[in-house]
């Protein structure tokens, strides 16, 4: 019988950045992150630009990409895009990682190699840590799933991605998930 070597968040943070850049820490265990395809980066950057422009005109918070967030005492997740609103954004220590809490909106651009059980676990982790919304962007089927504690909305290509947390923001799913 083998035993797993578990790690604390403090040990994870102390790793050389090159050693932990492709891992999340989940329940004390290092979990490798899959290498994203180019389209993944295009979509992440498109969304970050769109929301960044929105937040410049509507200063209600800020966003970061690929930044470690401490979800619970032994778990550090790295959403593709993390949106922090109000006081949570204002109180962030920009010189420290991991962010000591979950984002208000956690965004994951799904990769074909991700398993549904792993994705659902991430959603549960974010929600239990206080994320109000989790957006799952699935370019393979041109859908966005918006998960909240109240349930899930599935948005298809012609639908508009909108959020009560970002009033006035609106983007057509097909435009967001396009390869162009």
> Own/partner pairs for 116-122, CB < 8 Å, 24+ apart?
121/26, 122/77
Give 28's pLDDT tier (boundaries 50, 70, 90): confident
Q: Tell me, what DSSP letter sits at residue 28?
A: T
Span 119-142, average pLDDT: 96
Residue 8's pLDDT is what? 82
Q: Are 111 and 34 in contact (CB under 8 A)?
A: yes
Least confident of 9-13, 71-75, 109-113: 9-13
* Cα–Cα distance for residue pair 176/44, rounded to 1 Å: 9
Give 115's pLDDT tier (boundaries 50, 70, 90): confident
Residue 1's pLDDT is what? 47
Residue 138's pLDDT is what? 96
**pLDDT, tens digit, for every residue of 65-95?**
999 999 988 999 999 999 999 999 999 999 9
Name the average pLDDT for the chain.
91
Angle at the Cα of 69 from the Cα atoms of 124 and 116, rounded to 5 degrees: 35
Choose between 115 and 109: higher pLDDT.
Answer: 109
Span 140-149, average pLDDT: 96
Question: Which domains are assigned to the chain?
Answer: 36-177 (3.90.1570.10)
The pTM of the full predicted model, rounded to 2 decimals, is: 0.89
């Amino acid at each position: 019988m083998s035993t797993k070597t578990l790690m604390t968040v403090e040990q994870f943070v102390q790793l050389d950045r090159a050693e932990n850049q492709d891992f999340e820490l989940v329940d004390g265990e290092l979990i490798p992150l899959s290498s994203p395809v180019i389209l993944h980066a295009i979509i992440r950057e498109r969304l970050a630009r769109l929301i960044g422009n929105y937040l410049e005109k509507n200063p209600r918070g800020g966003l970061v990409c690929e930044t470690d967030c401490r979800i619970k005492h032994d778990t550090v997740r790295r959403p593709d895009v993390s949106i922090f609103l109000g006081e949570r954004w204002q109180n962030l220590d920009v010189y420290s990682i991991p962010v000591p809490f979950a984002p208000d909106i956690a965004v994951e651009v799904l990769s074909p190699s991700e398993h549904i059980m792993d994705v659902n676990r991430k959603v549960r982790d974010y929600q239990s840590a206080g994320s109000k919304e989790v957006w799952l962007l699935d370019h393979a089927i041109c859908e966005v799933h918006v998960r909240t504690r109240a349930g899930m909305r599935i948005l298809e290509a012609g639908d508009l991605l909108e959020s009560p947390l970002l009033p006035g923001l609106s983007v057509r799913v097909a435009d967001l998930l396009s390869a162009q």
